[in-house]
Structure 1
Amino acid sequence: MNLNWNICASGRKGVLHESQFEFPPVIMSNQSNSIPVGEGPRGIAISSDGARVFVCNYISGNVSVIDTRSKKVIRTIAVERYPQNITLSPDGKRAYVTNYGSGSVSVIDTETYEMGNVTVGRHPWGVVVSRDGKQVYVTVRQDKEWLAIIDARTYAVSRVQGLPSPSISVDISQDDSRLYISSTNPPGAPYQDALTVIDSKTFKVIDIIKTAQYPSAVTVSPDGREVYVVGQDARKLTVLDTRSSITRHFDFVTCEGKIVFGEKNAYAVDQTNKEIVEVNTATYEIIRRVPIPGACEPYDMVLDRHRAYISDYQNDEVHIVDLPQA
């Protein structure tokens, strides 16, 4: 792979938030161990076969590759400044990393570990690949430049400008027709704390939906019928029905990372209580809590069947937690 791109900018370390709401815990026993990675691990991704976990190390500016059988880091890949989030292409051959401090996306060949950088705009944050693998969508938190689109074959970049708000997280519908983007502005600005729905072909805004305070991660359910948005500061979960466009709001936890789906239910990291919460996808209630032993600032997680891998921003580790089976 021939990749020759570059960019530079500045960034700063993020701050996790806490809140006052609490849920009665349903604590289950579990086994946990931890793997040392780079400094400040944040975004995390897992290969489709569960063999490798990729972790963005925000402070040290690299990506750790973990072999899940040996539970060891087998590769450390230097990227650019403040890698924030990571996602894999549908075929697993590419990893895309948003470098918040360098205005770029690093593209990693997951077989050879060759790496190159694509300039996208100041402060890229969220990233998702279309289901057909042809486009990479990147949220960019700079004025008047809200979404970058990378052609996954040529690495050419186009930009959608002048859309409502600086954006945070992005996910895509199962048929590739809709983009769902969380965004927030300073108090008093228009479209503060919203989920914006965009046509992925025309990039026209279809809907702007109010969410709870500081929407962080956006996740489309596996069946495509719902979109989950976590209001991090408000500790609320907004659920959008994609067929009726009806939204409902539920009490939740402090969660900056993504929601992940298991065989039956959904899971998220409770950053305040340092637990994994299991959410019933029919009632949206928290039905189980699993501690993350040794966690300090758990940030994001991925799931391989009944095993969770959680990045710990403060401890510079990835925790492994075996989840109880129903």
Structure 2
Amino acid sequence: FAYVTSPDAKAVTVVDAAARQVVGRIEVGGGPLGIAVAPDGRTVYVADWYAAAVRVIDAASRSVTASIAVGASPSGLAVTPDGRLLLSADRDDDSVSVVDMATRQRKATIKVGTRPFGVTIDAEGKRAYTANVGSDDVSVIDIAEGREIGRVSVGMRPYAVALTLGRGFVTDQYGGTVSVFDLASLKPVKRINVGDYPEGIAATADGKRVIVACWESNTLSIIDATDVKVIGEIRTGDGPRAFGAFLRKTE
């Protein structure tokens, strides 16, 4: 299943990914924005922008079962690969909340750059990366230590980060670019021109390509992650936006 947040409608729509049909709607109230699914697929987490909370949804019953207090204006969410921790980018607190999923309580707060929006966790569950729209940079977080360990300058108004082949790819909304940096050295690699107002970004399952949703140009830009260049473009409907995992993983 795919889960789509609708802030104005105060709901989450459930889509059957195989049939490509809407199969449910979950009323969550507030302003549902960022969304993440637990690794086992049983639980869906939704950031409520207005309530400084994360709503917990049971995927089987399609109902809200709990609410977890986090910081102001939570936006991006990410779950560690083991499912034990949830990270919430709390935009108006300039911080990231770390939530223990066993107790469903916030266990730590990590200060990052100005107005963090998207948050991404690496495949090992060791580091997290926040796109800081207010300071035009990316914060690098050591999850175990619970602190920021680095900062990378990127383009104007970074929205989200994708990770693949030892590099970070960051959408620069106002720049119409994707900034690329090396994950080991945290040094800039390149800045790639894409469509207008790029927001959502994700790597394909094989890690070879990075897909970028460009809101104003109504396109998806396709980047070759090895050669670090745009190799294609797909026309979409009006105003494509994406936040969280928006690519279907296939074997």
TM range (shorter): 0.7 to 0.9
TM-score for both structures, normalised by structure 1: 0.66
- After TM superposition, give the deviation of residue 244 of structure 1 in Å: 3.2
Q: Any conservation in 2 of the 1:38–1:63 contact (CA below 8 Å)?
A: no
Q: Any conservation in 1 of the 2:152–2:187 contact (CA below 8 Å)?
A: no
> SS of the residue aligned with 1:101?
helix
Q: Which residue does 1:302 correspond to in 2?
A: none
1:274-319 per-position Cα deviation (integer Å, ceiling 9, x unaligned): xxxxxxxxxxxxxxxxxxxxxxxxxxxxxxxxxxxxxxxxxxxxxx
The whole-number CA distance in structure 1 between the counterparts of 2:248 and 2:155 is 29
Does 2:229 match 1:249?
A: no
> SS of the residue aligned with 1:263?
coil
The whole-number CA distance in structure 2 between the counterparts of 1:79 and 1:224 is 32
Letter in 1 for 2:171: S
1:24-45 per-position Cα deviation (integer Å, ceiling 9, x unaligned): xxxx784522222140101111
With over 3 angstroms needed to count, the CA separation of the structure-2 counterparts of 1:42 and 1:110, relative to structure 1, is same
Q: Which residue does 2:201 correspond to in 1?
A: 218
The whole-number CA distance in structure 1 between the counterparts of 2:54 and 2:96 is 13
TM-score for both structures, normalised by structure 2: 0.85
Alignment of 1:1-326 (within 5 A): 30=21, 32-115=23-106, 116-143=108-135, 146-173=137-164, 175=165, 177-185=166-174, 192-247=175-230, 248-253=232-237, 254-258=239-243, 259-263=246-250
The whole-number CA distance in structure 1 between the counterparts of 2:170 and 2:87 is 18
Task: Tell me which protein shows more strand as a share of its residues.
Answer: 2
Letter in 1 for 2:250: E
The whole-number CA distance in structure 2 between the counterparts of 1:162 and 1:257 is 23
Unaligned runs of 5+ in 1: 1-13, 16-27, 186-191, 265-326
- After TM superposition, give the deviation of residue 162 of structure 1 in Å: 4.2
With over 3 angstroms needed to count, the CA separation of the structure-2 counterparts of 1:34 and 1:159, relative to structure 1, is same
Unaligned runs of 5+ in 2: 1-6, 9-18
The whole-number CA distance in structure 2 between the counterparts of 1:79 and 1:89 is 17
With over 3 angstroms needed to count, the CA separation of the structure-2 counterparts of 1:59 and 1:240, relative to structure 1, is same
> SS of the residue aligned with 1:142?
coil
Task: Tell me how large the CA RMSD over aligned residues is.
Answer: 2.0
Q: Any conservation in 1 of the 2:205–2:249 contact (CA below 8 Å)?
A: no
Q: Which residue does 1:301 correspond to in 2?
A: none
With over 3 angstroms needed to count, the CA separation of the structure-2 counterparts of 1:29 and 1:241, relative to structure 1, is closer
- After TM superposition, give the deviation of residue 158 of structure 1 in Å: 2.6
With over 3 angstroms needed to count, the CA separation of the structure-2 counterparts of 1:29 and 1:154, relative to structure 1, is closer
- After TM superposition, give the deviation of residue 73 of structure 1 in Å: 1.2
Letter in 2 for 1:78: A
**What percent of counterpart residues are identical?**
24
Q: Any conservation in 1 of the 2:94–2:116 contact (CA below 8 Å)?
A: yes
Q: Which moved more, 1:146-155 or 1:247-256?
A: 247-256
User: When the two structures are aligned, how many residues end up with a matched partner?
Assistant: 230
Rg larger in structure = 1
